[in-house]
Amino acid sequence: MRRSTFRQLQIFEAIARHMSFTRAAEELFLTQPTVSMQMKKLTDHIGTPQFERIGSQLYLTDAGKELLHTCTEIFSELDRYEMMVADLQGLKKGKLRITIVTTAKYFVPSLLGTFCKRFPGVEASLNVTNREQALIRLEENLDDLYVLGQPPEDLHVESQPFLDNPLVALAPVDHPLADEKNITLERFSEEPFLVREAGSGTRKVVKRLFDEHGLELNVRMELGSNEAIKQAVIGGLGVSILSRHALHHEPRATKICILDVQGFPILRQWYVVYPVGRQLTIIARTFLEFLHQSEH
């Protein structure tokens, strides 16, 4: 293994990330024969293959999965080192990888934009996915920071609240309940309900609320995003519950109204989360501070 070169590990990591020799070659500006030859050398040094091909599909072998894990650690250590050197030189320079749940996409990108303007040396990547997928990435320790609507109960994490996240009950503006005051949850629960997909954090909160009140959700349809839910509400398919952040426009202008249901808005917060023991990079720490400052 010690005869393998750093370049070979980079090539391996790019193939494993894309699950394609061709795309790895493109990313690294190499020819495909070069990539294949370097992988052959790496396999010879290790003594066991990292990939197997079944039909046209490429898979990582168990040894390949272990090597990918090792490479991820080596590369993030090197990133950290590079940033440390940049910091010593008085520059905030380097990578920042953030994963956010879909509902946070309404405000994190603009915060990140401001941050990147302030620190032009930051190379940021933002992965937007639902809660379940975000937690898988968190468990695999793939990113620097995560923005979630609720810290995970079963993972060992540091979590810091940084912004309010009220959840509101929605209906189309011409809905019979639109002008009613103090609507009971029982009455609201009779309306056809538009629910987010399994794995969504919003869905989890809604389910818990109805369970706590011993009520059944009258599910009309399951939709895979906040945007799809908003369009379906406008289209008159039902009512729903979403984060106030998902209504970034003035609600009346989007033909959606917020219903006055008892117990609403549900008061939640946005949390920035990272695994306990993860050595945060200087940039990740700077971004954390920035998030807290942007509260005010």
Provide, rounded to whole angstroms, the least separation between the CB of residue 258 and ligand PGA: 17
Provide, rounded to whole angstroms, the least separation between the CB of residue 163 and ligand PGA: 12
**For the chain, what is the radius of gyration of the CA atoms?**
23
Provide, rounded to whole angstroms, the least separation between the CB of residue 225 and ligand PGA: 8
- Looking at the Cβ atoms of 148 and 209, the one nearer to ligand PGA is 148
- Looking at the Cβ atoms of 129 and 189, the one nearer to ligand PGA is 129
Please tell me the distance from the alpha carbon of residue 272 to that of residue 160, in angstroms, as a whole number. 5
Provide, rounded to whole angstroms, the least separation between the CB of residue 203 and ligand PGA: 6
CB atoms under 10 Å from CB of 39, counted, come to 19
Q: Longest Cα pair distance anywhere in the chain, in angstroms?
A: 74
Please tell me the distance from the alpha carbon of residue 192 to that of residue 101, in angstroms, as a whole number. 25
- Looking at the Cβ atoms of 50 and 200, the one nearer to ligand PGA is 200
Q: What is the DSSP secondary structure assignment for residue 29, as one 8-state letter?
A: T
Provide, rounded to whole angstroms, the least separation between the CB of residue 150 and ligand PGA: 6
- Looking at the Cβ atoms of 64 and 149, the one nearer to ligand PGA is 149
Provide, rounded to whole angstroms, the least separation between the CB of residue 147 and ligand PGA: 9
- Looking at the Cβ atoms of 80 and 268, the one nearer to ligand PGA is 268
Ramachandran sector of residue 19 (left: φ over 0; alpha: ψ -120 to 50; beta: rest): left
Give per-residue burial for 267-287: e unless 16+ CB within 10 Å, then b.
ebebbbbbeeebeebbbbebb
- Looking at the Cβ atoms of 180 and 295, the one nearer to ligand PGA is 295
Chain positions contacting ligand PGA, by CB under 6 A: 101-103, 130-131, 148-150, 196, 200-202
- Confirm if 163 and 295 have CB atoms less than 8 A apart: yes
Please tell me the distance from the alpha carbon of residue 119 to that of residue 139, in angstroms, as a whole number. 29
- Confirm if 126 and 100 have CB atoms less than 8 A apart: yes
